[in-house]
Chain A
Amino acid sequence: MTPVFKKEFLGYFRSPVGYVILAAFHFAVIALALYFGYYRNSQATLFTLFVRLPWVLAIFIPAVGMRLWSEEKRSGSIELLFTLPISPRSAVVAKFLAALCFICVGLCLTFSLAITTSYLGDPDWGVIFSGYIGAALTSAAFLAITAACSALTKNQVIALVLSILICVLSTLIGSDWLAQFLANKVPTGMLDVLRLFSFEQHFEAMSRGLIDISAISFYVTLTLAFLGINMVVIER
């Protein structure tokens, strides 16, 4: 498993694509944090960074994970991979962890804003820590979705579009914006059910410092479920 992990992780840095994705992610996250009033609010928190993070991740993570299986299928190297003495399960987990580590590099870069905050004020590090845990868990779930989509097709663009669609929709279904839009059109009970499946709602709790068991089990279940789908598709 380790050689596949190593190859995949280092693969992100073998071409300019990895650096471009990291730079674009960093720029988008910081720009949104500033736009939503990082300085204006005069609060020593990273709330403005976390508030729109699931939306950025819903685009950034499919861009990172789209190649995981599509590229192997397109180039034919999947034949080499599965004639090595590696089980499909190890290959799925190794690729997933490698991409997750790359995403964590992206998340670590945004730590620059946390350092700025500690320079300007006295932030609650517990809340920041919980926010980053939430971001990592959201990333893991989005990545599992992307990996499963990537296993379905040899076309990276299809994998990208499909996974962005699923990630954005699953973020949207519990957003306040959709709740206001549907307020008088559907029963409140239905909106509550939708919120149970929403990334934004679960992440929001964690970005406020609440490490919620229901949120963690939501992320972990979803991640495992999509990794399972990935495995079934690959073994087919």
Chain B
Amino acid sequence: MVTVDRLVKDYGTLRAVDGVSFTINKGDILGFLGPNGAGKSTTMKMITGFLTPTSGKATVDGFDVTENPIEVKQRIGYLPESSAAYPEMTVVEFLTYVAEARGITDKEEVTSRLADVIVKCHLDSVKYRTIENLSKGYRQRVGVAQAIIHDPQVLILDEPTDGLDPNQKHEVRKLIQAMAKDKAIVLSTHILEEVEAICNRVIIIDQGKVLVDETPEAFKARKPGATIDEVFRDITNKNILA
């Protein structure tokens, strides 16, 4: 469903992403891990078509992101890191705008999709509030809602549980797992238990390079008895020392 092939992104002399490659299929939940500034968000932004790769290519459902950006964007739901939204709009106005911009033109369909994501993301109590008046947790859920409103084949979620309390985190994880059956999902996170809890694949990226690409079980088995956090620290610290 998503193929990333030797993706490189340079910012001036800085190489933010250095030859990242992977493939994910329907049903996969890929956990993208790495320290801050490792290149996770940049890689995700290149898959969504927001950034143009310096070299390499990314394809979604057979469409090249650089050559067919519109086709790719139609198939992707994306939650940006900043959960960007328009503060002066109400939740309903914002989600309606995204649905329409995603090409859902039938009014009844917009209404039913809206009702569906409002229930799934527990936004009913705030649906007529302006986004600027929402707490961070609710804003994050609005971000998730806009990413899934068009029922995309591929979901790219940049830190989807950031800013949520433990119960909300649990809800969002359950939602992601429930959607995984017929979607390919890439999510980045700092929370390692999250990977253990919901992902069937983990990629660790540091200084733009993929260090690890395996199942969470294999990842944990690297150092028997240790927590997943310790394994992560070992791998990323080794990379710094190397």
Chain A residues proximal to chain B, CB less than 8 Å = 2-4, 6-7, 11, 14-15, 75-80, 82-87
Question: Once bound together, how far apart are the Cα atoms of A77 and B82, in whole Å?
Answer: 8
B 34-55 to A, binary, CB cutoff 8 A, 1 in contact else 0: 0000000000010011100000
Bin chain B's interface residue count. 20 to 34
- For A15, the chain B residues whose CB sits under 8 A away are 88
Question: Once bound together, how far apart are the Cα atoms of A82 and B52, in whole Å?
Answer: 12
- For B101, the chain A residues whose CB sits under 8 A away are 3-4, 84-86
Question: Contact between A85 and B74 (Cβ–Cβ < 8 Å)?
Answer: yes
Question: Contact between A76 and B89 (Cβ–Cβ < 8 Å)?
Answer: no
Closest 10 CB pairs of A and B: A3-B100, A76-B82, A85-B73, A76-B84, A77-B84, A3-B101, A14-B88, A79-B80, A85-B74, A83-B48
Closest to B74 in A: A85
Question: Contact between B102 and A85 (Cβ–Cβ < 8 Å)?
Answer: yes
- For B71, the chain A residues whose CB sits under 8 A away are 85
Q: Which residue of the partner chain, among A11, A14, A75, A82, contacts B50 with CB atoms under 8 Å?
A: A82
Question: Once bound together, how far apart are the Cα atoms of A61 and B89, in whole Å?
Answer: 23
Chain B residues proximal to chain A, CB less than 8 Å = 45, 48-50, 69-71, 73-74, 76, 78, 80, 82, 84-89, 97-98, 100-103, 146
Please give 10 more A-B residue pairs, beta carbons under 8 A apart, in addition to A11-B88, A80-B78, A85-B70: A3-B97, A3-B101, A6-B100, A7-B89, A11-B89, A75-B82, A76-B82, A76-B84, A79-B45, A84-B101
Closest to B104 in A: A3
Question: Contact between B82 and A79 (Cβ–Cβ < 8 Å)?
Answer: yes
Question: Contact between B98 and A77 (Cβ–Cβ < 8 Å)?
Answer: no
Question: Once bound together, how far apart are the Cα atoms of A4 and B100, in whole Å?
Answer: 9
- For B74, the chain A residues whose CB sits under 8 A away are 85
- For B103, the chain A residues whose CB sits under 8 A away are 85
With both chains docked as a complex, state the minimum distance between the C-beta of A80 and any C-beta of chain B, in angstroms: 5
Q: Which residue of the partner chain, among A11, A80, A85, A86, contacts B80 with CB atoms under 8 Å?
A: A80
Question: Once bound together, how far apart are the Cα atoms of A79 and B51, in whole Å?
Answer: 9
Closest to B75 in A: A85
- For A85, the chain B residues whose CB sits under 8 A away are 70-71, 73-74, 101-103
- For A14, the chain B residues whose CB sits under 8 A away are 88-89
- For A4, the chain B residues whose CB sits under 8 A away are 101
Known: A76-B80, A79-B45. A84 touches B98 (CB 8 A): yes
